[in-house]
Structure 1
Amino acid sequence: MFAPGADLVLGIHAAQTARQRLCAESLDITPALHWRVTPGPDHNRRLRLSAPPGRLRVRYAATVAIEHHVAAPASLAEVPVHGLPDSVLPWLLPSRYCESDVLHGLALEQFGRLPRGHARVTAIRDWVNRRVRFRSGSSNASTTACDTARSGEGVCRDFAHLMIALCRAVGIPARFTTGLDYGADPALGPSDFHAYVEAYLGHRWYLFDPSGTALPMGFVRIATGRDAADVAFATIYGPVDPAPPVVGICAVAGEDGELRVPLATAMALSTDGG
């Protein structure tokens, strides 16, 4: 409910990447309003609209075909800073929610002596998963990676922020990714938006889920950014009385009629073009 109206920027559209192909999508907005979808960096798309006073309903649906790049974890090396593409360098820097500079000492103590490569990123993921307890409502929009390290609890975005900060602190580019939580434990509640991590290894971005609540093979990528500030699901300018979003995700048969349900796997997965 909007009174006296508001401007909205929504990050709900599925990304189109070299390995996540958009088969179909639809958008229904009630009441009918002028809207536009603007392209952003790294295949991000943002829905922009201005809502008059009263109720607003936005319904977005998409079908995507995902063909992961699959690699053996042991084959993935860290890329030294001098070998990183210019476009990847920003993902090494501290950001609003990922204070890698503050966590540098902790990261070196825990992970500085580990062999470099996919195994070190996995060790960071597992450390965050062990040290942080998933608890709904335990954090808010101002909670940072340092806050989560101190409190030891959070939701998926907090797990992701902490893992990203620790990766960056030891020289591993990492970014915050939004998507959907396919395969999440029903005990956590209904389907929802999700936050996970992409780390740069072997000149490609690979998926990691430090919260351990969903199946990476089932993630539908929406957007990537330095942290949650870059890729909020909804940024609203004006007063609003929001209702909780209703989110659904399921596996469907492909164009060949075959149903391939996402599974847990020990292989490294990427939906980046490389």
Structure 2
Amino acid sequence: MVLRRIGGLWTCIILSFFLAIFANFETVQANQLQIPTLYNTRDLVLELEATIVSNKDLTDVNVKMPLIQGQPLYCQGVLGIDALPPVSIKQEQAGSGSDSWYAEVHWDELPAGEYRRFDVSIKMRNSRPVYRINPEACLTVDPYAFAEYLAPEEGVESDHPSIINCASQVIGNARNPYEISRLLFSFVNSHMNYDLSASDNRRGALYALNSGRGTCQDYADLYVALCRAAGIPARLIYGLRYNTEEHGDLIGRRNVANRHHVWTEIYLESYQWVPVEPTYTYKLNGRKTISFDYYGTYPAHDLHIATGYENPPLTWNYKYSGSKPQVYFNVNEILRQE
């Protein structure tokens, strides 16, 4: 009887030991960086055809045109940027941790009525990421380490009482960042209605919340603000959105000057920055329905081509005599697949 009890005790001790090892292994696995699976990889070329003209003679003309302001390195990378003189390409370190590129152009003089053109070609490799997220691996992040992506900013009024109260009501008793981010994702898409007549001027998250209407900028501002109010690091990402089902494939040259788009990323522990597309319309049996095909990925036909985490304006300066000149600057954007 004593030997049986001792044998049973050793069995329990050994079993507990292996269970502890297994539990620790699961924890280690959950805390390891999980990378997305990449699909539909394409080598793309974005051609920028820029033209400037003035109604008066100008001298010492300088143009600085933003090209790329950081990249989502989990699914896209710049392969090269080509331009001919007088264009020079400048590369800088971006706050997002990846590089930024600008095109700078100088002319000693620009006679009135004379068009000047310069071209820039950006080659990039773009893939569709698919994240398979384990909610248990999504732990709460250190707020001090992500203070920049939890703080309010222009257009993202995450500290406004209305935004805070809305986030609180939507998430209820949820505490897991993955669950919270999906609840907020569902809310934004069901609350908002896409309105093409909305102004091009940025109006911000509070406007989007109060009006329930807007464009991709409004959807993205509201989602980022709600996530930040709920303690989830979030940021905007700018670029182009191209639907191959609606606009055709990229074998030919496609004008994408009117395909500018804004979407978002959230930071989930073990996965880092995860793309979330709050601006979509999915209908089932004629009714607007939430689709998580836009959370952590996008459909294969819905290309998202990032140009950066900031959207700085094109700038120029020049010298002139007399009254102020009228200067016109236009950029045509062409996308094709190599």
- TM-score greater than 0.5 by the shorter chain: yes
Question: How far off its partner does 1:48 sit?
Answer: 4.1
Indicate the SS of the match to 1:176: strand
Question: How far off its partner does 1:51 sit?
Answer: 4.9
Whether the 8 Å contact between 1:209 and 1:216 is mirrored in structure 2 is: no
Question: How far off its partner does 1:233 sit?
Answer: 5.6
Judging by fraction of residues, say which structure has more strand.
2
What residue is the counterpart of 2:76 in the other structure?
20
What TM-score comes out, normalization by structure 1 length?
0.72
Q: How far, CA to CA, are the matches of 2:123 and 2:134 in structure 1?
A: 31
Q: Supply the AA of the counterpart residue of 2:306.
A: R
Q: How far, CA to CA, are the matches of 2:314 and 2:268 in structure 1?
A: 32
Unaligned runs of 5+ in 1: 225-230, 253-274
Unaligned runs of 5+ in 2: 1-51, 248-253, 282-293, 318-325
Of the three residues 175, 194, 197, the one matched with 2:264 is 197
Deviation sequence 1:80-137 (CA, Å, 0-9, x none): 4xx3562x22100000110001121222122243342323212212221222222335
Q: Supply the AA of the counterpart residue of 1:15.
A: Q
Query: Is 1:243 equivalent to 2:330 in the alignment?
Result: yes
Q: How far, CA to CA, are the matches of 2:314 and 2:172 in structure 1?
A: 37
Q: Supply the AA of the counterpart residue of 1:49.
A: E
| Greater C-alpha Rg | 2
Question: How far off its partner does 1:211 sit?
Answer: 0.4
What residue is the counterpart of 2:148 in the other structure?
90
RMSD between superposed Cα atoms in Å: 3.2
Query: Is 1:130 equivalent to 2:190 in the alignment?
Result: yes
Whether the 8 Å contact between 2:155 and 2:205 is mirrored in structure 1 is: yes
Whether the 8 Å contact between 2:69 and 2:94 is mirrored in structure 1 is: no
What residue is the counterpart of 1:210 in the other structure?
278
Question: How far off its partner does 1:236 sit?
Answer: 2.1
Whether the 8 Å contact between 1:13 and 1:46 is mirrored in structure 2 is: yes
What residue is the counterpart of 1:263 in the other structure?
none
Query: Is 1:160 equivalent to 2:220 in the alignment?
Result: yes
Residues 249 and 162 of structure 1: is their aligned pair in 2 closer, same or farther, counting only changes over 3 Å?
farther
What residue is the counterpart of 2:205 in the other structure?
145
Identity fraction in percent = 18
Question: How far off its partner does 1:9 sit?
Answer: 3.6
Indicate the SS of the match to 2:306: coil
What TM-score comes out, normalization by structure 2 length?
0.60
Query: Is 1:220 equivalent to 2:301 in the alignment?
Result: no
Indicate the SS of the match to 2:330: coil
Q: How far, CA to CA, are the matches of 1:150 and 1:18 in structure 2?
A: 34
Whether the 8 Å contact between 2:265 and 2:275 is mirrored in structure 1 is: yes
Residues 67 and 125 of structure 1: is their aligned pair in 2 closer, same or farther, counting only changes over 3 Å?
closer
Indicate the SS of the match to 1:128: helix
Indicate the SS of the match to 1:127: helix
Q: How far, CA to CA, are the matches of 1:207 and 1:8 in structure 2?
A: 29
